[in-house]
Amino acid sequence: MEVFERRRLRVVMEITSLDLCYPEKVAGVFNAMATLLSDANAPFIFLLAVDPSVIVPCLEQTGCMKGLADNGYLYLNRAVTLPFSIPEMGARSRLRSVA
């Protein structure tokens, strides 16, 4: 398809709601991401929306972090290229945004 389009194509995958999955499935998603991104020229972009305080215990339960001293935050830091967080909104801010 890239030959016909004459441009590099990207596949964007949005990953959400991991907090609803069993720990083994969460680890499986991260393993799948690592596999798909193992090639430097892979056409994949992942948008991962997670709460680290929920995901880290899942990762630490599964034992998928061999060699990382069972530190889920270190595992996330290595898996995510451009992390950012959105601060929790206060009651006033929520009321203003609703209004």
The model's pLDDT over 30-45, given as tens digits with 9 standing for 90+, comes to 889 989 998 888 889 9
CA distances from 29 to 32, 41, 53, 65, 93 (A): 5, 20, 17, 13, 34
The model's pLDDT over 70-79, given as tens digits with 9 standing for 90+, comes to 688 888 888 8
Q: Is residue 31 part of a domain?
A: yes
Domain containing 74: what range? 11-79
- Count of domains for the chain: 1
Backbone angles phi, psi at 69, to 5 degrees: 60, 30
Q: Is residue 4 part of a domain?
A: no
Q: Is residue 69 part of a domain?
A: yes
What letter does residue 39 receive in the DSSP assignment? S
Q: Is residue 97 part of a domain?
A: no
Q: What is the pLDDT of residue 25?
A: 92
| Whole-angstrom distance, CA of residue 53 vs CA of residue 90 | 19
- HSE-up of residue 47 (Cα within 13 Å, Cβ side): 6
Q: Is residue 64 part of a domain?
A: yes
Q: Is residue 6 part of a domain?
A: no
pTM (two decimals): 0.73
